[in-house]
Structure 1
Amino acid sequence: MSTLTSGTASAARGVGPLLRAWREQRRVSQLELALRADSSARHISFIETGRSRPSEEMVLRLAEHLDVPVRERNALLLAAGYAPRFPQTPLDDPALDTLREGIERLIGGFEPYPALVVDALYDVVAANRGVMALFEGVPESLLVPPLNAIRLTLHPQGLAPRILNLREWRGHLLEQMARQIALHRSEPLRALYEEVAAYPVPDTGGTAGREPDVPVAYFALPMLIEHEGRTLSFVSSISTFNTPMDVTVAELAVETLLPADPATAKYVQSWLS
């Protein structure tokens, strides 16, 4: 269990060491943080060493300037002796009905192009018909909820054998996960990373050096995937919610797959015709 995601462990350590750990993680000096937070390096030092107890406002201000994730801001508040500020509302709670409906409309409106919504562990919380078309042929054992987008993509029985540039796409996904682990310090996410990083790379999918039928000057790293005998190319775009006030909402991400060439766009349009 991560010490930064455990309220009990955080409180035992105190807020000072936790703030120092986040500052060092962000490679920010005490002086630089003090200037950002309209404080003094001396006061920051006193907070980190436990000589001074920060106010609730100061904890939140420092957390904001250190880009601490919302979930961990609650841990900092607990460690400083304050109540958590940000709720963690289950996604199926009636309070989030409007959010869920908006998400469904968003990814539905993106059809026929694939779009899905994942949580902090890349578990799929919503997906449109374009995504499900790509998952055709994946064994039922991998489609048991909760679906995990990373596991489905990199598992030797998932999409991996059909991804023609698997080594490049796998490297991109693992690097993305590593950045998230550094940001959130999530042990469950680290466990997922270690699981998928250990998957063997199939002989097909990326190792045969196959290229698209028609060479294309891509504007971003594409995922080249075989679908019913055709090579499709997609580039990924990920968006999150601005200034979230709920842990659940803060950890949602909307991923869309845009066709990277005219042939893919034309073929995908036929999925819903």
Structure 2
Amino acid sequence: MAMTRPAVGELLRDWRRRRRLSQLELAIKADISTRHLSFLETGRSAPSREMVLQLADQLDLSLRERNRLLMAAGYAPVYPETPLGEPSMSAIRAAVRQVLTGHEPYPAVVVDRGWNLIEANTSLGVLTDLVSPSLLAPPANVLRASLHPEGLAPHIVNLGQWRAHLLHRLRRQVEASGDPMLVELEEELSGYPGDDSDGEPILVDNIVAPLRVRRGGRVLSMFTTVATFGTPLDITVAELSIESFYPADEVTARQLRDVPGFALSTS
């Protein structure tokens, strides 16, 4: 059967409802009349290219979804999706590498929108050497490698807490993006064994919940930060995230500084 592309009005209505906005609320944000918005959603009026981008901005859509909305309205996509290996992306690659190497001796990883491993520093080996090699074969998915029974999960001391944290982040992504790939990933990960609760959360100075991994008879306690590129105009760049691990205590900091470098291939 031939696949039909959703009409632009249908997409606008779906995204408005996903953002929990009434027609009146979105119309006010976009500085248009409710009647005009209603006509756009029902297909009685066709939006201009500028109107599509204006509504996409007010709906806080990703660059990928903005292109999809434009194509549904009959316009050419605006935002390119350049492979990271292209010469024009050399500055982006250099910036990523600088962040990764500068974060040594602590682990750091770069992922795409689907949590697939793009690149990592050598210190990530302190975690990946506990994971089955089959889960690290490209394209390795860092969430799958974390929560799979043959992944990092058996070594995570606070697995229930960490699993709940990762699934919560993933569900928020699903809610915000509606990405079918993430929906499928969430269904898979939710089926892995492990309680979503782990008693009282263990906090670092009552601020953040750490990842606690048992390795070599010792427990490494780390928390993470996430960095993205500001004001990206390319889909590939917009969907890159750098997750950096930091020691949550001085004992972990000393252990990480004492661990020899690990070689990790992501090609």
TM-score (norm 1): 0.88
SS in 1 for 2:232: coil
1:27 to 16, 20, 30: 20
1:222 aligns with 2:181: no
Q: Displacement, 1:227?
A: 1.6
- Distance in 2, matches of 1:255 and 1:168, equals 18
1:76 aligns with 2:69: yes
Q: Displacement, 1:191?
A: 1.5
Q: CA offsets, 1:25-72, max 9 Å, x none? A: 101122221222222212111111111111111101110110111111
Q: Displacement, 1:137?
A: 3.2
Q: Displacement, 1:243?
A: 2.2
2:226 to 215, 219, 238: 238
Bigger Cα displacement from structure 2, 124-133 vs 263-272: 263-272
- Distance in 2, matches of 1:159 and 1:254, equals 19
Unmatched 5+ stretches in structure 2: 262-267
Q: Displacement, 1:93?
A: 1.6
- Distance in 2, matches of 1:124 and 1:216, equals 27
Amino acid at match of 1:122: W
TM-score (norm 2): 0.90
Count residues in correspondence: 258
SS in 2 for 1:126: strand
Amino acid at match of 1:180: Q
- Distance in 2, matches of 1:259 and 1:92, equals 32
Q: Displacement, 1:218?
A: 4.1
Unmatched 5+ stretches in structure 1: 1-7
- Distance in 2, matches of 1:96 and 1:45, equals 41
1:65 to 39, 58, 65: 58
Q: CA offsets, 1:127-182, max 9 Å, x none? A: 01121221113222122111110011001111101100001100111111111111
Cα RMSD of the aligned pairs, angstroms, is 2.2
Q: Displacement, 1:242?
A: 2.1
- Distance in 1, matches of 2:47 and 2:107, equals 46
1:102 aligns with 2:95: yes
Identity %: 47
The alpha-carbon distance between structure 1 residues 216 and 28, as it changes in their structure 2 partners (threshold 3 A), is closer
Bigger Cα displacement from structure 2, 111-120 vs 87-96: 87-96
Question: Residue in 2 aligned with 1:3?
Answer: none
1:256 aligns with 2:239: no
